[in-house]
Structure 1
Amino acid sequence: MQQIEDILGIQIIDILSVVAGLVALLVMYTIYQTALVRDPMKGRVKSLQDRRDSLKAGLMTTSKRRSPVKKVDGVGAMRKLADKLQLLQKEQTQKVSAQLTQAGFRSKDALVIFQVARLTMPLIMGLVAVTLFYGMGVWASKASMYPIFSVCAVLLGFKLPDMYVSNVKSKRTEALRKSLPDALDLLVVCAEAGLTLDSALNRVAKELGRAAPELSDEFSLTAIELGFLPERRQALLNLSERVDLPALRGVVTTLVQSERYGTPLATSLRVLSAEFRNERLMLAEEKAARLPATLTVPLILFILPTLFVVLLGPAACKVTDGFINRS
Structure 2
Amino acid sequence: MTLPPLVFAGLVFALVVTLSYALLVRWLPDAGQQRLSRLSTPAPASDQPTPSFWQSLQQRLVAALLWLSPWTAGMSGGDGETPSALRVRFWNAGWRSPVALQIYFTSKTLLTLLLPAVAWGLVEMSGWRWPGLQRFAPVLAGAAMGYYLPDWVLSLRVRRRQLALMHAFPDALDLLRVCVQAGLGLDAAIERVGREMRLARPELSDEFALTGMALRAGASRAEALRHLSVRIGLKDIDALVSMLIQADRFGTSVSESLQVHADALRTQRRLRAEEAAAKLPVKLLIPLIFCVFPSLLTVLLGPVAVTLARQFIKVGGT
TM range (shorter): 0.7 to 0.9
Instruction: Return the letter of the residue paired with 2:241.
Output: V
Is 1:296 aligned to residue 285 of structure 2? yes
Which residue, 196, 211, 214 being the options, matches 2:185? 196
User: Counterparts of 1:84-99 in structure 2 under 5 Å?
Assistant: 86-90=74-78, 94-99=84-89
> Partner residue of 2:166?
177
2-structure distance, mates of 1:75, 1:21: 23
Is 1:238 aligned to residue 227 of structure 2? yes
Q: How much does 1:117 deviate?
A: 2.8
User: Counterparts of 1:155-166 in structure 2 under 5 Å?
Assistant: 155-166=144-155
Post-superposition CA distance 1:194-215 (Å, at most 9, x none) = 1111221122112221221111
Q: How much does 1:130 deviate?
A: 3.5
1-structure distance, mates of 2:160, 2:290: 31
Aligned partner of residue 126 in structure 2, secondary structure: coil
User: Counterparts of 1:4-153 in structure 2 under 5 Å?
Assistant: 6-7=4-5, 10=8, 12-18=10-16, 77=67, 80-83=70-73, 86-90=74-78, 94-134=84-124, 137-138=125-126, 140-142=128-130, 145-153=134-142
2-structure distance, mates of 1:280, 1:167: 20
1:152–1:316 CA distance, 2 compared to 1 (3 A): closer
Q: How much does 1:271 deviate?
A: 0.8
Q: How much does 1:94 deviate?
A: 1.5
> Partner residue of 2:256?
267
Aligned partner of residue 10 in structure 1, secondary structure: helix
1:115–1:300 CA distance, 2 compared to 1 (3 A): closer
Contact preservation (8 Å) 1:225, 1:235: yes
> Partner residue of 1:286?
275
With 119-128 and 181-190 compared, the bigger mean Cα shift is at: 119-128
Instruction: Return the letter of the residue paired with 1:172.
Output: R
Contact preservation (8 Å) 1:188, 1:270: yes
Q: Which sections of structure 2, spanning at least 5 residues, go unmatched?
A: 32-46, 49-61
Q: Which sections of structure 1, spanning at least 5 residues, go unmatched?
A: 33-41, 44-71
Root mean square deviation of aligned Cα? 3.5
2-structure distance, mates of 1:200, 1:123: 50
Aligned residues: 280
1:103–1:186 CA distance, 2 compared to 1 (3 A): same
Q: How much does 1:175 deviate?
A: 1.1
Contact preservation (8 Å) 1:78, 1:113: no
Contact preservation (8 Å) 1:240, 1:249: yes
Which residue, 194, 197, 204 being the options, matches 1:215? 204
1:303–1:217 CA distance, 2 compared to 1 (3 A): same
1:130–1:281 CA distance, 2 compared to 1 (3 A): same
Contact preservation (8 Å) 1:9, 1:139: no
Q: How much does 1:128 deviate?
A: 2.6
2-structure distance, mates of 1:23, 1:103: 34
